[in-house]
Amino acid sequence: MLSRYFVPCHIITKHKAQYNIKLLKGEQTIPQKLSTDQVLGILKKIPMFYKLNEERIKSIFEICSIKKLAKNDILCHAGDESNHIYILIAGFLRATLEDGSKLSRISPLWTIGEMGVFSGEKRSATVIAESECSLFTIHKADLFEVFGNDPVIGEQVAININRYLAHKLRINQAIIEELKAFCSREEYSRIVDSVMKNLDT
């Protein structure tokens, strides 16, 4: 029987990698010293901001701040209020469940917390730095103010979020199908619960 720790981490990471590789084109990290043009280029690659023009991407850029984490720093705890969206720029994070078991590994250009910001639900996982990390931080209030000032941004982001969520659901369905070949019924049920919590990481 596969261990409680290994299954979610191994299989989720494999399926997430298939998505991340399209964005990263094989790169493991992004330079930590970035020009404005480089930052705008990164934001354009984030699924949540697809199809926003240059001017609207700049509106998002203006509300971004940089957050640095040392190895083993905690970005957020399960049960925290969802007041920020994070975009990992450099380094790696891991998402863990409340019992400490590893849920997934988060690579550069992955977003954290967007579902909680839009749904109002609290954080579903604790996120910890596996290495030194750099992230963009967007506060919920600032983002909603941008939406109010330019409804087109809000509409496009809503469309992108729906597509992104559908993509993550397809990933989770693939994970669930793969688990059937490895696990007992009890283990399968437990891991499916863990996989579904992965939607907000």
> Which of 8-12, 94-98, 194-198 has the lowest average pLDDT?
8-12
**Residue 38: C-alpha distances to residues 34, 53, 95, 171, 193 (Å):** 6, 15, 27, 29, 38
The pLDDT value recorded for residue 188 is: 63
Share of the chain above pLDDT 70, in %: 71
pLDDT of residue 13 exceeding 60: no
pLDDT of residue 74 exceeding 50: yes
Nearest to 194 by CA among 184, 181, 179: 179
Nearest to 93 by CA among 122, 65, 119, 70: 70
Task: In whole angstroms, give the CA distance from residue 168 to residue 114.
Answer: 13
Look at 29 and 165; give whichever has higher pLDDT.
165
**Number of residues that this document lists for the chain:** 201
The pLDDT value recorded for residue 9 is: 39
- What one-letter code names the amino acid at 65? S
Domains in the chain (CATH in brackets) are 6-195 (2.60.120.10)
Q: Is 127 helix (H, G, I), strand (E, B) or coil?
A: strand
What does the pLDDT average to over 9-13?
40
44-55 pLDDT per residue, tens: 989 899 999 999
Task: In whole angstroms, give the CA distance from residue 182 to residue 195.
Answer: 15
What does the pLDDT average to over 162-187?
73
Q: How confident is the model at residue 39 (pLDDT cuts 50, 70, 90)?
A: confident
The two three-digit tokens of residue 10, written as one number: 């191994």
Task: In whole angstroms, give the CA distance from residue 131 to residue 165.
Answer: 27
Estimate to the nearest angstrom the gap between the alpha carbon of 51 and the chain centroid: 19
Most confident residue range from 11-20, 75-84, 174-183, 190-199: 75-84
Nearest to 80 by CA among 67, 92, 56, 98: 98
Share of the chain above pLDDT 90, in %: 49
What does the pLDDT average to over 17-38?
51
Where is 133: in which H helix or E strand? strand 133-139
pLDDT of residue 30 exceeding 70: no
Most confident residue range from 6-10, 14-18, 92-96: 92-96
What are φ and ψ of residue 184, in 5° steps? -70, 170
Look at 89 and 33; give whichever has higher pLDDT.
89
Query: How would DSSP label each residue in 68-120?
Result: EE-TT-EEE-TT----EEEEEEES-EEEE-TTS-EEEEE-TT-EESHHHHHH-
Mean pLDDT of all residues in the chain? 79
pTM, rounded to two decimals:
0.72
